[in-house]
């Protein structure tokens, strides 16, 4: 049993104010593998006070100083990469062969360092100076599906801006969150600049969101939980950045390469066992092409090798928890009960995997837009194939969702994709499987969230704007906060 008995507050590993811990369950073995200390509202008070004290000095550090700090964090993080890989396989079932989950955080930190180097914190408008300054103490609440990367992106852009941090990883990913705190400690992050308080959303997350010493909250998780964070933060009128649920559509135009579109959709949708908010979980195909595309979908879905995520040959591990397993299975059953056609997968336990929260890669056809599996975020390896009549029908179906996180379009040389691309109400749209870029912003429309992360726009989430008047020609001689 791995032991993580401490929180990290004011540069020290400390015991929580009350002696409490939680056992983390290995989703492959359905058995405890670690104990993690959890905090209370009192621990949040201590962390907030430490972060407020540290902000006074850290907010005035130079760009060069913060770039050097990020560089040290990158070096230490990379030295722990294999440890992170093993740990997230145990805590959330991510295969060790999925190196994107481990290499991605280092890449994002390198991008943040480059963005910081080139960012103009001060500009002129007429005789005035417009200055962007760190917003203050930031409460950062991250999810379990990208257990390291999402938390790293939040922390590194907050530090790049000159903010101080209280972090709360998901309870399912509290072990890797604690390991990242160790990385920051080894990298020499000044005391109080980063603080870790593991705990429940109901107590620790809510206290962080309401805390009068916290200036900004960044949350990634479900839309339901995001509503609670936003409501709690409203009491003190603090800034809120939310990345929430998704039910992204992939519109496949009639002249698209159907095999390419099908295989890409399966790999993108079922990556991370389907536990990705940007998953193209709805595939919209012209009604005349359904029979042609389904064999490619089924064939690609059957290429996944389910098994122990600690084995390098595994390409799909279990889903994260018993609750998630039940939720996914209930939604698969709803698809069957509501008349969708099961092309592959379903409710049967995968061969040889009687223990563990394993879900078969599942493809439904004959799905109508009103079905539950077409509307609810399943967050598992389940794809709904929906026919459409024409472009107007495709756009109507794609946008008929409370979510607007991602969008995808596949087309060929005979059609103009711009109408569909421009018409999708989503924060990110990819054409013909084009990869995303970490310098560009990520975020959603509608109930998929508020604000953006990554790149210049992500940095600005952690900055306030100040206009300075009255100095005329002397304005350029004002002391620069970020010299």
Helix, strand, coil percentages in the chain from 3-state DSSP, rounded to 5 = 40, 20, 40
Q: Are 254 and 415 in contact (CB under 8 A)?
A: yes
- Report d(CA 309, CA 1) in Å as an integer: 18
**Cα-flanking dihedrals φ and ψ of residue 238, to 5°?**
-100, 160
Strands, E assignment, 18-79: 21-26, 31-37
**Token pair for residue 29?**
């073995």
Task: Report CA Rg, the chain.
Answer: 23
Output the CA torsion 392→397→402→403 (10° steps): -90
DSSP state at residue 315: S
| The residue to which tokens 């008995």 are assigned | 5
Q: Are 319 and 327 in contact (CB under 8 A)?
A: no
**Token pair for residue 430?**
């990819």
- Report d(CA 405, CA 262) in Å as an integer: 21
**Token pair for residue 193?**
């600049």
Q: Are 77 and 183 in contact (CB under 8 A)?
A: yes
- Report d(CA 110, CA 437) in Å as an integer: 13
Among 277, 377, 460, 461, the active-site one is 277
Which CA distances in Å does 31 have to 27, 105, 179, 245, 310?
A: 7, 28, 21, 29, 15
* Number of CB atoms found within 10 A of residue 306's CB: 22
Maximum C-alpha span of the chain: 76
Please say if 277 is a catalytic residue.
yes
Please say if 243 is a catalytic residue.
yes
| Cα 299 → chain centroid | 29
Output the CA torsion 246→320→78→166 (10° steps): 70
- Report d(CA 24, CA 38) in Å as an integer: 12
Among 91, 133, 243, 461, the active-site one is 243
**Cα-flanking dihedrals φ and ψ of residue 470, to 5°?**
100, 0
Question: What is the set of active-site residues?
Answer: 243, 277
């Amino acid at each position: 049993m791995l032991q993580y008995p401490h929180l990290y507050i004011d540069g020290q590993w400390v015991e929580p104010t009350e002696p409490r811990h939680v056992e983390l369950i290995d989703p492959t073995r359905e058995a405890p593998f670690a104990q993690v200390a959890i905090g209370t509202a009192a621990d949040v008070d201590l962390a907030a006070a430490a972060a407020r004290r540290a902000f006074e000095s850290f907010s005035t550090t130079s760009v060069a100083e913060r770039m050097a700090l990020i560089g040290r964090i990158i070096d230490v993080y990379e030295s722990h990469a294999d440890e992170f890989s093993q740990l997230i396989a145990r805590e959330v079932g991510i295969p060790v062969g999925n190196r994107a989950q481990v290499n991605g955080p280092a890449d994002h930190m390198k991008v943040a360092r480059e963005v910081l180097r080139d960012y103009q914190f001060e500009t002129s408008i007429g005789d005035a100076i417009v200055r962007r300054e760190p917003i203050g103490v930031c409460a950062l609440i991250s999810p379990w599906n990208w257990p390291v990367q999402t938390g790293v992106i939040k922390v590194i852009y907050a530090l790049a801006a000159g903010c101080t941090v209280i972090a709360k990883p998901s309870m399912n990913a509290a072990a890797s969150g604690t390991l990242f705190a160790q990385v920051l400690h080894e990298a020499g992050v000044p005391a109080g600049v980063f603080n870790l308080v593991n705990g429940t959303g109901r107590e620790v997350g809510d206290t962080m969101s309401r805390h009068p010493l916290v200036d900004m909250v960044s949350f990634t998780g479900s839309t339901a939980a995001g509503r609670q964070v936003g409501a709690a933060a409203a009491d003190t009128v603090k800034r809120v950045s939310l990345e929430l649920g998704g039910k992204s559509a992939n519109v496949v135009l009639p002249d698209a390469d159907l095999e390419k579109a099908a295989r890409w959709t399966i790999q993108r949708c079922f990556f991370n066992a389907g536990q990705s908010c940007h998953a193209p979980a709805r595939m919209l195909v012209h009604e005349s092409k359904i029979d042609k595309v389904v064999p490619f979908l089924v064939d690609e879905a059957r290429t996944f090798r389910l098994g122990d995520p600690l084995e390098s040959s595994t390409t799909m591990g279990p889903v994260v928890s018993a609750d998630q397993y039940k939720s996914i299975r209930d939604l698969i059953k709803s698809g069957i009960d509501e008349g969708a056609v099961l092309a592959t997968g379903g409710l049967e336990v995968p061969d040889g995997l009687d223990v563990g929260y394993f879900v078969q890669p599942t493809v439904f056809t004959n799905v109508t837009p009103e079905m539950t599996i077409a509307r609810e975020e399943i967050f598992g390896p389940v794809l709904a194939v929906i026919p459409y009549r024409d472009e107007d029908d495709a756009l109507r179906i794609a946008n008929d969702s409370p979510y607007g996180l991602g969008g995808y379009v596949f087309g060929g040389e005979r059609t103009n994709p711009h109408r569909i691309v421009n018409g999708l109400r989503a924060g990110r749209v990819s054409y013909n499987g084009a990869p995303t870029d970490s310098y560009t912003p990520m975020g959603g429309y509608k109930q998929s969230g508020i604000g953006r992360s990554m790149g210049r726009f992500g940095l600005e989430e952690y900055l306030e704007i100040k206009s300075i008047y009255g100095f005329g020609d002397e304005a350029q001689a004002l002391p620069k906060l970020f010299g």
